[in-house]
Amino acid sequence: MNRTNLKEITMSSSRTTVLACVSIGALALGTTTALAHDGGGWDDGGWSDGAAGTTSYSERGGFRAASYINGDAGANPDVDPRSSCFNPDQFDRQRISTRASGNPGNRNVHNDACFLDKNNEKADGPASFQSFGVGYISACPDPDGAGPKYAVLSDTNRDGRDDLCFQSGYQETAVVGAAGDDEFHARVNKNRGDGFQRVAWCSDADADGCVDEVVKKSIRIRWVNGYSGR
C-alpha cells in the first residue's frame, strides 16, 4: 500500500468511528460537515483549548480531543494511575532527564491522546502534538509500523528542539485490542534547567500545528532539577 496522502480520504478499520481527511485544512466524518479551523490559541501567556478554553466539542462534527499523561504502569508516580482519555491527568511535576540517557530520556513524559465522539467512541484522523515553552518532543512513533500511516517529527522554529509531531492516524497493530491501539502517542523530555512545558494535541489535517485548530487539548509539565520523584 502507498503512504497515506492527506488529500485523500483516509479510512481505517471498522472497529471504531473514522475521521476522514477530505482536503487540506478540513476533517469530516464520512460525508458530514467538515470540522473547521477557528480562533483558539494563546491566552494570558498560556495555551487555550478553544475561544474561551471551555468548549469540549467542536461546533461542527461533534468530536472532542482528549489528551492525558500516561503514568507508564507506575513508573511515573506523580501521575494518576487511572489516567486515560476518559479520566485525563493533565499535569505532571517531573525531574529532568540525565543528558547521558539520550532520547526519549530516562525521565521522559508519556503523552497519549484520542478523538472522542458524543458517544465516547474513539475516532481516527490526522493529528499533531505541539510543544511550547521549555523541553522538546523526544519520540513520535509511526502509528502502524510498515503500514500506510506515518509520522513526522520536526523543529518548526529551528531552535534545535523538535516541537511538532504529526501523525496521519492513531496507532493500529496486527493484534486487535492491543494496548495503545486507537490512540495517539508521543514522549516529551527535558535534560537541563527548570521550567514549564505545554504540549497541545489537536486534529491537524494541514499538518501545521495546533494554533489554528479548534479540536484540541493540552497537558502541562513542570520540569525541575531536584525533584525527589523518579
pTM tops 0.85:
no
- Domain residue extents for the chain: 17-224
- C-beta separation of 92 from 219 below 8 A: yes
Q: What is the pLDDT, as a whole number, of residue 176?
A: 78
Quick one: what percent of the chain has pLDDT higher than 90? 64
Per CATH, which fold does 17-224 belong to? Immunoglobulin-like (2.60.40)
User: pLDDT-based confidence at 10, cuts 50/70/90?
Assistant: very low
Q: What is the pLDDT, as a whole number, of residue 177?
A: 76
User: pLDDT-based confidence at 165, cuts 50/70/90?
Assistant: very high
User: pLDDT-based confidence at 229, cuts 50/70/90?
Assistant: low
Q: What is the pLDDT, as a whole number, of residue 178?
A: 82
Q: pLDDT tens-digit profile of 109-139?
A: 999 999 999 899 999 999 999 999 999 999 9
Q: pLDDT tens-digit profile of 72-106?
A: 999 999 999 999 999 999 999 999 999 999 989 99
